[in-house]
Amino acid sequence: MTGISEDELKYWVAFSRIPRIGAVRAGRLESHFGSMAAAWRAGASELRAAGLDQGTVTSVVSGRPAIDPDAEMERLRRAGVKVYCWNDDAYPRRLKEIDDRPPVLYVRGTLLPGDEWSVAVVGTRRATPYGRQAAEHFAGDLARQGITVVSGLARGIDAVAHRAALSAGGRTVAVMACGLDLVYPPEHAKLAQEIMARGALVGDYALGTQPRSEHFPRRNRILSGVSLGVLVVEGDENSGALITARQALDQNREVFAVPGPIYAPGHRGANKLIREGEAKLVTKTEDILEELNLTMATQQLELREVAPADETEAALLKVLSSQPIHIDEVQRASGLSIAAVSGALALLELKGMVRQVGPMSYVRARDVVVSYNTS
């Protein structure tokens, strides 16, 4: 069940083909017109009234005649590409949190609720044997723990991470810097097919969009945005991996780094992140799992699937926040018995939905859905 009709969705797709329409301008159009269908039909003066600058107005007015929204949706169907706008229930919830979230996200393959528990593994295209070994070790271990491995399908560390996750029987997601009807680099076509079978290719570029150098830094915001944290394996100080790490920090994500030899250029970026306190040094997978409170990820995922939140759990989650609160205060605010509160908190903690951060004090985990669906 989605939160948007296909008739409305096709106009989001159409606007994704218009240059200069990103998160801010799409938000202005949606807010001013109430729907993208109405925005698509608006004249130049109405578009200016919505807050678009003249350059963007010209881009919209001149670009619309060449775009058929119905034909765009048919192209997506033929290519096997699903599309979600940020109002859609299936749009990754964690990605909605970032300031520069893509208005439209294209998907080939399948995104699952468990993919919210994901870690991005990034690094240089010119991976050393040490870097390859580290990427394979961490990505494989994370996948075996039920964590989805996210990367960018690039040569080097990215490809190693994807393959290690697949070899471990886990899930992996590749974030693309081109239309999803293309694969870049082309020699990763078979790998892309394997990823689609056990995860997804995702991106915000319309079909047919060729990979360009400026697309890669832009796509990295999605790579970090869908993830709980980013692991930098190898990369120089100006590498794409470091761009992803900086974006992760801006998005309030955790950043981890594998230390490397101090004289190796390919390790200067990771070492700098560690030295400046922007990344946590990791030498084993448990370092990441403990920091992200995912030490029992597989068990937590199973519990979440077989025991979804009931009305009691939903009531407690509404009371809890990122600030520690004592169980007695939780009981008073929820109006429930102390026995019901104690039992529900214990189960929520096992699910990874809340954390105990002090004697009888709890916080809500940041990846929790509060609402309870009775259907």
Q: What CATH number did the domain enclosing 315 receive?
A: 1.10.10.10
Phi-psi map region of 277: left, alpha, beta (phi>0 left; psi -120 to 50 alpha):
left
How much is the pLDDT for 307?
43
How much is the pLDDT for 343?
80
119 and 264 fall within a common domain: yes
Q: Quick check: is 298 in a domain?
A: no
230 and 349 fall within a common domain: no
- Name residue 208's amino acid: G
Q: How confident is the model at residue 59 (pLDDT cuts 50, 70, 90)?
A: very high
Kindly provide the residue ranges of all beta strands, DSSP E only, lying in 24-127, ordered along the sequence: 82-85, 104-109, 118-123
Q: Quick check: is 100 in a domain?
A: yes
Number of domains in the chain: 3
Closest by CA position to 131, among listed 287, 257, 303: 257
**pLDDT tens-digit series, residues 146-176:** 999 999 999 999 999 999 999 999 999 999 9
Q: Quick check: is 375 in a domain?
A: no
Tokens of 141: 């271990």
Average pLDDT, integer, range 298-313 = 58
Lowest mean pLDDT among 87-91, 99-103, 137-141: 87-91
Q: What angle do CA 307, 308, 314 make, to 5 degrees?
A: 130
- Residue ending a domain, among 81, 109, 137, is 109
**With 80 as the cut, is the pLDDT of residue 296 above it?**
no
Give whichever of 218-222, 238-242, 300-304 has the largest mean pLDDT.
218-222
124 and 254 fall within a common domain: yes
- Name residue 85's amino acid: C
Q: How confident is the model at residue 308 (pLDDT cuts 50, 70, 90)?
A: very low
Contact of 249 with 255, CB cutoff 8 Å: yes
172 and 254 fall within a common domain: yes
61 and 209 fall within a common domain: no
How much is the pLDDT for 206?
94
How much is the pLDDT for 356?
78
Q: What CATH number did the domain enclosing 259 receive?
A: 3.40.50.450
Q: Quick check: is 219 in a domain?
A: yes
Lowest mean pLDDT among 51-65, 231-245, 304-318: 304-318
Q: Quick check: is 300 in a domain?
A: no
- Residue ending a domain, among 242, 264, 291, is 291
Range of the domain at 23: 6-109
231 and 124 fall within a common domain: yes
193 and 136 fall within a common domain: yes
21 and 119 fall within a common domain: no
- Residue ending a domain, among 41, 75, 109, is 109
- What average pLDDT does the structure give for the chain? 89
Q: Quick check: is 135 in a domain?
A: yes
Q: Quick check: is 119 in a domain?
A: yes
Q: Quick check: is 12 in a domain?
A: yes
Tokens of 95: 């990605």
